[in-house]
Amino acid sequence: MRNSEKKKKYLRELYRILTEYYGIAATYYCDLVSRLKIELDI
């Protein structure tokens, strides 16, 4: 029982870190794409 609880906690932490990382990556990517569009328009 304790082992599964530990695993759930670990997965929740991993999920939190991944969503945080992908959120930053997505923001950066959107910024990059918008900059490229501006560059191409000029």
So where are the chain's domains? 1-41
Is it the case that residue 15 has pLDDT exceeding 70?
A: yes
**What is the structure's pLDDT at 42?**
59
- Of the two residues 2 and 36, the one the predictor is more confident about is 36
Q: Please count the CA atoms within 13 angstroms of the CA of 18 that sit on its side-chain side.
A: 6
Q: Cα–Cα distance between 10 and 17 in angstroms, integer?
A: 11
Is it the case that residue 2 has pLDDT exceeding 90?
A: no
